[in-house]
Structure 1
């Protein structure tokens, strides 16, 4: 059960005052009926959007399993939903993550890869940094024979403001180990992603 939002908490009061000031800045009347609860709602929503600051996403990878009959081929979870916010405009970006690794004696629960992506995505981000954070956590904790992280996202700050290109998709990737050194592993990875991409 999530904690109740305390409107009297000094930090919450300060944050709500900032939201109220922004509404007035853009020409709205923060005291009109439809906006009276908006500062509270915005602060509560932002706490959810940015809940990744309250955890160490790498912790999700620390419980592993070794009884896998020596499995040492590609493991990939594709089409992991990504919902994040760009740190430049606080605008949402969203898309899919494809996360793969080649085990080196141990595997991690599949859901943990989704939790890992979420933990880093629920922070202010740039897509390139998010890609590296997921990759580096897997490399450091699992120490696999190879890691591949590919993100395909649409950015509101590019689609609906500025250059206004609503169909543009940004792809970032970080590959290491066998995915860089073994052409057959890399080919298998990209074939699987091609069949399961956006």
Structure 2
């Protein structure tokens, strides 16, 4: 049988959200019964559940599902991980890239698990500052590494579409632990995420 992706949504949650979004459309001056909007409340209800699925996921379980003993202590970097999240202040998207590194202390994890941990916390209502530290803390707690580093660069639609309306602004946040608190190690990480080796 061919691979088939199935998205599952809680029925009660979906129904309640549909009612909420139908009412919101009316309050905004639209007609929820207009042909083009008939299925919009259901689409939004499902989209919002998809974009906040991180609340139902465990970063520890993800990292432990592919945890291997390896006697190495060299820097491992997964860079340019796409980030899509929602600003908790306006519920507008922010998006960009995360760069994550750690120095093992006897344990490594599957490379894809690092990207999944980013998604666990990005797929919630967020602020970029907290997202950065949550990713660091998750890796630190699950792998007990010698060091962890996380840098996120993102554009925020709440700054681009409304408010100050600055189209080209980019926000950069960083968090460092352990060996990355040393200038030499941190500088090597910053140099490597800024270079094109491929």
Q: Which residue is equivalent to 1:192?
A: 192
Structure 2, gaps ≥5 residues long: none
**In 2: Cα distance, 1:112 partner to 1:12 partner:** 29
The count of corresponding residues between Structure 1 and Structure 2 is 191
**In 1: Cα distance, 2:194 partner to 2:8 partner:** 44
CA positional deviation for 1:73: 1.2
CA positional deviation for 1:2: 2.7
**In 1: Cα distance, 2:126 partner to 2:20 partner:** 22
Q: Which residue is equivalent to 2:67?
A: 64
- 1:55-108 CA distances to partner (integer Å, 9 max, x unpaired)? 1122111131124xx321110000000000011111000000000011111111
**In 1: Cα distance, 2:110 partner to 2:156 partner:** 30
User: TM-score scaled by structure 1?
Assistant: 0.91
**In 1: Cα distance, 2:81 partner to 2:8 partner:** 30
**In 2: Cα distance, 1:64 partner to 1:35 partner:** 46
RMSD of aligned C-alpha atoms? Answer: 1.5
C-alpha distance 37-152 of structure 1, shift in aligned 2 (>3 A):
same
Give the secondary structure class of the aligned counterpart of 1:134. Answer: helix
**In 2: Cα distance, 1:87 partner to 1:60 partner:** 24
CA positional deviation for 1:29: 0.7
- 1:27-78 CA distances to partner (integer Å, 9 max, x unpaired)? 11111100011111110111111111111122111131124xx321110000
**In 1: Cα distance, 2:153 partner to 2:138 partner:** 19
CA positional deviation for 1:184: 2.2
**In 1: Cα distance, 2:134 partner to 2:35 partner:** 43
Structure 1, gaps ≥5 residues long: none
Q: Which residue is equivalent to 2:153?
A: 152
C-alpha distance 10-73 of structure 1, shift in aligned 2 (>3 A):
closer
Q: Which residue is equivalent to 1:84?
A: 85
Does residue 2 of structure 1 match 2:3?
no
Q: Which residue is equivalent to 1:111?
A: 112
